[in-house]
Chain A
Amino acid sequence: MIDLPACRSGIFSERAVSDLLVVTESGLYCEQGDFYIDPWRRVPRAVITHAHADHARAGCDRYLCATEGKLVLRSRIGGGAPIDTLRRGESMSINGVKVSLHPAGHLLGSAQVRVEHGGTTWVVTGDYKLHHDPTCASFEHVPCDVFVTESTFGLPVYRWQSPDEIAAEINAWWRANRDAGRTSVLLAYSLGKAQRLAAMVDPSIGPIVAHGAVMKLVEAYRASGVRLPPIDRVPPRARRVGDGRALVIAPPSVLGSSWLNLFGESSVAMASGWMMLRGVRRRRGFDKGFAVSDHADFPGLLAAIDATGARRVLATHGFSDALARYLRESRGLDAAVLPTRFTGEATPDAAATGDDDDVSDAEGNENDAPATEAP
């Protein structure tokens, strides 16, 4: 954990006295509304952008999320605490602050949080992408005064191919493996990316099989009304699965474990935005890397920022420094870094073994086995 002066004093800038949202020790806080957005600690009232472990923590007294994301959030935080929901276009008042949720396109039920009070509007994106994703609603451009944007991939070397091109590459890899009698193992974060991949690929190539951690969320997705192709579960205590035709979707934590032996000869690929870089692909020892991400690439970040019309932008996660400076210089925006509890830097290796494209810790992420290093 980093030691931020801002955390100690409970504010992140001189202007914070009048800011609608401030960073506190527990996370991004709205004083007027007395609620937190994606808090890091247990708080009375949490507004959740999406259900990934580094954004949705268990143990709060009360949650608010987008209607589509309720089941997924419930599966991550467990039973007990009430979850309020907002439909798209709906808004509610929390202690006089107007709050509404707008699709972020990151995964099912992911939302940007729009907060309005005293004539000022803030939008907090959480994680987002602009590319099409068949498993969730597309990102909505919401005008605002202050835009709190993620910047995981905030360097211009990150520029994604179109989803169709990526899907064609994955299909070609799967087909070639199938023809050679080799199982295709595709590693991806078990919530969001795994389901998106299942919906992206061509199910006529062969059967799709999922790891238990992925399957649990496949069920939550289906129960939420998302259409996914037929996906088989790996039977418990199986000794051998498939005949080399299958596409197996599993979390990266299976790397180096005996679980992979179930499939005999296989080709192991990783699906992550970090796979854009040859060095990362190579040192992780994957047979193949697909640069497919649920985060915005650099052009996507700029497009989203420009569309809000915001004069003030706060960047968080990943390359926030570089993005903020670029926004100041190229657009004259009042742009700065919003400190987070996570280290301010992206580390592709943490991501490639662990959780998501984000830097995140294992805490609260009960669905995945602890990250292991590749042999």
Chain B
Amino acid sequence: MSIFEDLGKYVLFLQSTVKNRESLRVYPPLILDEMVKIGSNSFVIVAIVASFIGAVTCIQTADNLVSPLVPLSVIGTICRDMTLLELAPTFTCVVLAGKVGSNLAGEIGSMRITEQIDAIDVMGINSASFLILPKIIAACIMIPALCILAAFLSLMGGFAVAEFGTVISPTDFIRGIRDGFRPFNIFFALTKSFVFAFLISTISSYKGYFTTGGALEIGQASTHAVTNSVIGILIADLILAKLLI
């Protein structure tokens, strides 16, 4: 299948999730369920990754800025901007593409292989809307929330280095975080994480929904879901940086 055919099929798939959807009362419990799955199950990994990335960023930035001409608070400023603009949304979403994306593709793929999706279709229920739409909505709510958490914990990681290390004082670090703060950066980070969440959930669901074959193909669908989501995230990252900054 050519990339254009695949893209067309993806767009039609997205259309089918909202076209002829089920009654609205069906979705809230499904969305809540998916939010718990995506949010609480990813909390620990996001917290660990963000804290360590923040700490390492602080150490490496400090190491590269040893100059009497540069105030130490600049380290905090650089850590803040790197975290908000790139590390929190992009890095977190790449991690989540691996965790959430493979999970979604595997779950939906196994439902396809075991004819559970066919069973839903035969009942006259729009399986794409019933199964996928709650996952997309839940991801678009929870992943930006996880990115906010990641940004906070990443800065806390940097602060911990300042507090317990010798490269920068906590006061300088805090001053750096406050200096020249642009609220737009928060909006930018949230926009990115929202777009990435949409890409992760839709690409992974698409890969799972059209799985054919057996156990081997479910594994392949999960792998493709992760690689395609990551590629999608990187392309979208570049486009959003060009458009919004």
Decide if A and B are genuine partners: no
**Chain B residues at the A interface, C-beta cutoff of 8 Å:** none
